Structure 1
Amino acid sequence: MPAFKIPESVLVIIHTDDLQVLLIERADRPGYWQSVTGSLDAADEPLPATAARELFEETGIVADGERVVLRDWRLSNIYTIYPVWRHRYAPGVTENTEHVFSVEVPRDSVITLSPREHLNHVWLPYLEAADKCFSSSNAEAILQLPQQIR
């Protein structure tokens, strides 16, 4: 693992076929709800591999390519890193590039949170999920979900 986080990450929106979205609550910031997110472990780590790894690490869901398939939206957002987390990055790094993925799962999927990272999870209709996210890029991606999965 690098000394500093790589300022390139994935956002994975987990949803059901009827647009219920899974949100997870951050352990380091209770009350901050989000989709699965995570930075590349190495500069050459393929984005789909990062998305699959983070999906498993944060929820226990395995993207097996058959029953659970990651969808690469081929959409990237550049955002300013929140000051509270900027110390995790090299000095002078203020922006992160986030690549958006989604995955459709059955509503009864077992969610196994990483207690070090997340406290709780909730399924919400996509509009409510977008409203509950603290991250504007996460909320905007959730709002695009109906168009992306058509």
Structure 2
Amino acid sequence: MGTKIPVSVLVVIHTADLRVLLLERADHPGFWQSVTGSVDRVDEPLAETCRREVLEETGIDAADHVLTDWHLQNRYEIYPHWRHRYPEGVTQNTEHVFGLLVPDTVPVMLAPREHLAYAWLPWEDAAGRCFSWSNAEAIRSLPARAGAGRPGGANRQHP
């Protein structure tokens, strides 16, 4: 059994015109997702986890862009084929959702052990390609989140 902590982040990397970066998993070809990753230690701040995972998986330095906590948590069952990474008896994970606004489709440097390919897609296409329901749902919420603060949009907490 592993030692992975069942607390993770999901980072939806997107442009202002709602193009979303997706990554194809190396361990499951055909499975596309946003950046994800678990905290390294129980006291690691979630924003730090986001910055670390984004840099490791894409080469993008999140400190150069706008990282926003969406204040959204998902709790889900860990797929049986990945449970060996966690302590014995752990079957649930809590995922915290963040957005990372980048100015354009910035260059990506994949971690070859983790991902095979990447694509910048319109949000609708990205949501349809995700294998994870929580990832797809987060991407589907992007237009409303991006519209906040615009004329006719909801009030916005963060830029």
TM interval, shorter chain, is over 0.9
In 2: Cα distance, 1:136 partner to 1:122 partner: 19
TM-score if structure 1 supplies the norm length? 0.94
Which residue number corresponds to residue 36 of structure 2?
37
Which residue number corresponds to residue 57 of structure 1?
56
Aligned positions of 1:106-117 closer than 5 A: 106-117=103-114
Structure 2 alignment gaps of length 5 or more: 149-159
Query: What is the CA distance between 1:59 and its match in structure 2?
Result: 0.5
In 2: Cα distance, 1:4 partner to 1:49 partner: 19
In 2: Cα distance, 1:81 partner to 1:139 partner: 17
Q: Which amino acid aligns with 2:89?
A: G
Which runs of at least 4 in structure 1 moved beyond 4 Å after TM superposition?
A: none
TM-score if structure 2 supplies the norm length? 0.89
In 1, are the aligned partners of 2:66 and 2:101 still within 8 Å (CA)? Answer: yes
Which residue number corresponds to residue 10 of structure 2?
11
In 2: Cα distance, 1:54 partner to 1:110 partner: 16
In 1, are the aligned partners of 2:105 and 2:120 still within 8 Å (CA)? Answer: no
CA RMSD of superposed structures (Å): 1.0
Which residue number corresponds to residue 99 of structure 1?
96
In 1: Cα distance, 2:144 partner to 2:48 partner: 24
Which structure has the larger Rg over C-alpha atoms?
2
In 1: Cα distance, 2:105 partner to 2:48 partner: 24
Which residue number corresponds to residue 21 of structure 1?
20
CA offsets per residue over residues 49-101 of structure 1, 9 Å max, x none? 0011101110011122xx40111001110011111111111111111000000
Identity %: 62
Q: Secondary structure at the match of 1:41?
A: coil
Aligned positions of 1:130-149 closer than 5 A: 130-149=127-146
Q: Which amino acid aligns with 1:57?
A: E
In 2: Cα distance, 1:148 partner to 1:17 partner: 11
CA offsets per residue over residues 78-130 of structure 1, 9 Å max, x none? 01111111111111111100000011113341101100100100011111101
In 2: Cα distance, 1:126 partner to 1:95 partner: 28
Structure 1 alignment gaps of length 5 or more: none
